């Protein structure tokens, strides 16, 4: 055991130094993330690294296992967790208490007896003098917010467009982080009050920052997209427009959907998604055509879409735009031919997935086009 730790420590330190040398990054105290700060001193340093070495190779069955060091929640502390640790090594953790501070912060919110976590990014252009939009981006089932942030990174957009960006963290269900998009019932396997958490989160952020409450947007991937649809249905008083990537609506959400205003919606989905099938299927999942039909009908948009097709690096993408809805709302769909269950690395007319979502939702406030 000692030999394994010593060997690993030598290799790990060398890799860490190489990584830091290659990236040459320095992170100011107001712009750092807190994951990896195991000793709570607001800095990810060598003491945290040594603590990580002690539990490397352990699993949930071992006494020394520490779930905080299991970055990907796989049940064991492995090389993937070490690589995630390297990403944050050398950073300092701002406490986010200064609402004039910009950068990336990990924050907590106590709700319904549980300490909930979220990552907030405040762009350097924010100075508090004018109202800015808020974008909530929800990870998929099993997702970790600080990893999803890199996978579906909207920070460059936030810098350019001057909006505050939040990646909330879901709670565990059967050992995996999730979002509870269902209503309270005996059939719901989750008892997480995620709707209440998000409402409290929006209120908290609006109280600390100069947020345009009419321009709060929600998007998500997979289970996070299910949740974005549910927010649009059950809490539309808080949400102006939504975006979905590789997600759909549950029949329960469809049957109980009661938005209080026309809701602009953009959907990006692959035809070869076998996790959330394009054509719907078992477990009460609507097909993408059914989802589009619902929102087109609810918004009283044109049933005849404007259709365009393009090819990006061998990937065919069809764009459907249903316009002229109430309050000038619209519904858009990007159909990725043979696309799988991913946050797509595509470019449509020069825009990637994040840009497509932002360009769409930002046209609207809670009253329609802004």
| Residue 154 sits in the same domain as residue 206 | yes
The β-bridge partners of 309 are 318
pLDDT digits (tens, 9 = 90+) for 200-218: 999 999 999 999 999 999 9
Q: Does residue 195 share a domain with residue 135?
A: yes
Is the distance from CB of 222 to CB of 140 less than 8 angstroms?
yes
Does residue 326 sit in the same domain as residue 277?
yes
Whether residue 95 lies inside any domain: the answer is no
In a shared domain, residues 165 and 258: yes
pLDDT over 60 at 134, yes or no: yes
CA distance 309 to 315: 11
Within-domain flag for 97: no
> Helical H runs in the chain?
2-23, 46-55, 79-88, 145-151, 155-161, 194-208, 223-234, 251-256, 288-298, 353-361
Q: What angle do CA 288, 291, 294 make, to 5 degrees?
A: 150
Q: What is the pLDDT of residues 166-186, one digit of tens each?
A: 999 999 999 999 999 988 766
In the numeric block, the tokens 């100075």 are attached to 127
Ranges 57-66, 221-230, 356-365: which has the least confidence: 57-66
Does residue 296 sit in the same domain as residue 220? yes
Considering the domain architecture, whether residues 173 and 52 belong to the same structural domain is answered as no
| Residues 38 and 156 grouped into a single domain | no
Answer whether residue 357 is part of any domain. yes
* Boundary (domain end) residue, out of 64, 88, 112: 88
Say whether both 183 and 259 belong to one domain: yes
pLDDT in tens, 90-99: 655 554 456 6
Q: Are residues 29 and 160 in the same domain?
A: no
> Of 22, 55, 88, which residue is a domain's last?
88
Residue 96 lies in a domain: no
Domain finish residue from 21, 53, 88: 88
Residue 142 sits in a domain of what CATH number? 3.40.50.1820
User: How confident is the model at residue 81, as a pLDDT?
Assistant: 76
Q: Give a yes or no: residue 173 inside a domain.
A: yes
pLDDT tens per residue across span 139-160: 999 999 999 999 999 999 999 9
Domains in the chain, number = 2
What is the predicted pLDDT for the residue at 212?
A: 98
Q: Let me know whether 41 and 121 are in one domain.
A: no
pLDDT of residue 26 exceeding 70: no
Residues 81 and 125 occupy one common structural domain = no
250 part of a folded domain: yes
Give tens-digit pLDDT for 302-312.
999 999 999 99
CA distance 355 to 347: 9
In a domain, 98, yes or no: no
- What is the overall mean pLDDT for the chain? 87
Same domain, 268 and 345: yes
Beta carbons of 239 and 198 less than 8 angstroms apart: no
Question: What's the domain range around 16?
Answer: 2-88
Residue 115 in domain: yes
Residues 6+ apart with CB under 8 A from 332: 265, 266, 267, 319, 320, 321, 322, 360
């Amino acid at each position: 055991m000692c030999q394994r730790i010593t060997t690993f420590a030598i290799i790990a330190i060398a890799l860490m130094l190489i990584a830091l040398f290659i990236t040459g990054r320095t992170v100011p105290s107001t712009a750092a993330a807190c994951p990896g700060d195991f000793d709570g001193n607001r800095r990810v340093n060598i003491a945290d690294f040594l603590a990580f070495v002690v539990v490397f190779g352990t699993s949930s069955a071992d006494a020394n296992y520490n779930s905080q060091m299991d970055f990907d929640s796989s049940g064991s502390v492995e090389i993937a967790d070490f690589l995630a640790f390297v990403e944050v090594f050398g950073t300092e953790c701002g406490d986010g208490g200064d609402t004039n501070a910009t950068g990336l912060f990990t924050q907590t919110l106590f709700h319904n007896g549980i300490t909930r976590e979220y990552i907030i990014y405040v762009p350097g252009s924010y100075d508090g003098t004018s109202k800015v939009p808020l974008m909530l981006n929800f990870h998929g089932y099993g997702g970790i917010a600080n990893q999803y942030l890199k996978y579906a990174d909207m920070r460059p957009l936030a810098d350019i467009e001057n909006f505050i960006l939040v990646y909330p963290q879901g709670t565990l269900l059967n050992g995996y982080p999730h979002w509870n998009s269902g209503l309270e019932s005996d059939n719901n396997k989750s008892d997480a009050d995620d709707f209440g958490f998000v409402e409290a989160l929006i209120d908290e952020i609006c109280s600390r920052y100069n947020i345009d409450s009419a321009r709060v947007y929600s998007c998500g991937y997979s289970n996070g997209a299910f949740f974005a649809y549910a927010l649009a249905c059950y809490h539309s008083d808080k949400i102006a427009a939504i975006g979905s990537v590789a997600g759909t609506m549950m029949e329960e959400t469809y049957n109980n959907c009661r938005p209080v205003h026309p809701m602009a919606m953009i959907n990006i989905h692959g035809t070869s998604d076998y996790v959330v099938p394009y054509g719907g299927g078992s477990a009460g999942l609507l097909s993408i055509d059914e989802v589009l039909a619902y929102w087109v009908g609810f918004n009283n948009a044109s049933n005849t879409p404007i259709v365009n097709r393009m090819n990006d690096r061998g990937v065919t993408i069809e764009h459907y735009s249903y316009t002229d809805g109430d309050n000038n709302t619209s519904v858009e769909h990007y159909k990725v031919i043979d696309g799988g269950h991913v946050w797509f690395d595509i470019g449509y007319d020069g825009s990637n997935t994040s840009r497509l979502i932002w360009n769409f939702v930002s046209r609207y406030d809670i009253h329609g086009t802004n």
